[in-house]
Amino acid sequence: MAKSKKKINIIPKAANLKKGSKGKEVEKLKKYLAKFGYLNPGQLEYEGLEFPPEPEDSPVKSAASFENVTSKSKTRFDDATAEALSNFQKFNGLEATGVLDKASLELMNQKRCGFPDNPAMGALGSIDIAEFNAHSNKWTKTNLTYGFLNYSPDLTAAKTKQAVEQAFAMWAAETPLSFKMINNANSADIRIRFVTGNHGDGSSFDGAGGVLAHAFYPPPNSGALAGDAHFDDAETWTINVPPGTGTDLVTVAAHEFGHSLGLRHSSVTGALMAPYYGGPKRYLHSDDIAGIKHQYGGYSIAHAPWIHGTDINIEYPDRLKAIRRAGFYTYLYGNAGTKNWFHFAIPSPVIVDGNRLRIARAMLRCRTHSSKAIIKHVHIYDGYSRIASHNDINLSGNQWFVKFGVAHKPYIYWGLGISIGVEFKTGTTNERRMDFVSAGVDLIK
């Protein structure tokens, strides 16, 4: 958390504002709806303005143009406000009442992304209540670079790099894209900054809470800022799960990079690309996967070795109550209150037909019988080098095909391994059961 001077507050606090309401709270509501792409200032009653401002296709939005609206219309809850509020409610899965009810007010007071939900809203103010929503811009190359223009004082550089790499790996798993960090951040495709308040791109941050971050679409959109991601350093950033009073950098970074790659906000509850932050979520929803695949497609796999669940190696066998094998499954019953590591050594060819291969992702087929048995971490190794860390993912239940990307998709040299960090909480023996069917990797040329 860096020091921020003034909190810019556009979040309304008064419930039951409706058509006919007037005053400062209405003005805040209208600013809020305009900032996030629901209310086109061009729709308002203009006095002394010849043309309504153009909606812009970037987080640099219409807050400034809103200032051109006369003070009388700014504070009046009119038809356009009711329609904008209904669209906000529809997009976010609330009842579309057009009244600032309790549920809407609560949502507006939650932390969120600064990117508008409907950045391309036309003059008529219609909004698509779409699932994943892809912008027409996308990167025309697959090997993207990223760099840090600065860091937050909340986290060490090493922890920040780890969080960001984990976030990129989520998108790398599903696309032909690879993401490599370079030290000369200025020449990187995606430049990462931690900033507060007004930071020179026309879209000021608002102090702690409210807007957490924003990002820019791929080029040619947004000129030199294309692809960049900015994080509000008035927030307290953390990589701990649970995050306490802090905000999870992995989750917010993965969301912002979705915009950097050309995704808009999704109206699907539970999608990483939904606009509101609901705590740590370090994996993609099927809606996010559909969105990013629509943009970039899949990729061709040169080789895909798998191994059966019976080949699992257990680091601390004494922390298990029982191990059973059935067919190709291994059933593991952990002792309550224990942590353990399970390892799969994947028999991986590193050179095929004279070509050294690269790793795109690791995959698991497994299940846990309740939330008392949790897959916490998945680490991927080439020989003794750890090449990807998916930390604090907290997966339970059926995971019949779960993928863990490697952000930079490196060449492999010494053979691949997958290490799985698990936790068994207090519960019945059957609740503490975890089954492994198989593990594999996708290798590319």
- Interface positions with Zn ion (CB under 5 A): 113, 115, 201, 230
Q: What's the min distance (Å) between Cβ of 186 and Zn ion?
A: 16
Nearer to Zn ion, 231 or 333 (CB): 231
Q: What's the min distance (Å) between Cβ of 206 and Zn ion?
A: 12
Nearer to Zn ion, 62 or 368 (CB): 62
Nearer to Zn ion, 80 or 195 (CB): 195
Known catalytic residue at 47? no
Nearer to Zn ion, 232 or 423 (CB): 232
Q: What's the min distance (Å) between Cβ of 32 and Zn ion?
A: 15
Instruction: Specify whether the CB–CB gap between 125 and 55 falls below 8 A.
Output: no
Nearer to Zn ion, 228 or 435 (CB): 228
Q: What's the min distance (Å) between Cβ of 231 and Zn ion?
A: 9
Q: What's the min distance (Å) between Cβ of 216 and Zn ion?
A: 8
Q: Which two tokens stand for residue 175?
A: 């696309």
- C-alpha radius of gyration, the chain, whole number: 24
Sheet containing 143-148: give its strands across.
178-181, 143-148, 190-195, 229-232, 213-215
Q: Which residue minimizes CB distance to Zn ion?
A: 113
Nearer to Zn ion, 11 or 312 (CB): 11
Q: What's the min distance (Å) between Cβ of 373 and Zn ion?
A: 33
By CB atoms closer than 10 A (0-12, 13-18, 19+), residue 215 is: buried
Which of these is catalytic: 83, 165, 174, 256? Answer: 256
Q: What's the min distance (Å) between Cβ of 248 and Zn ion?
A: 15
Q: So which residues are the catalytic ones? A: 256
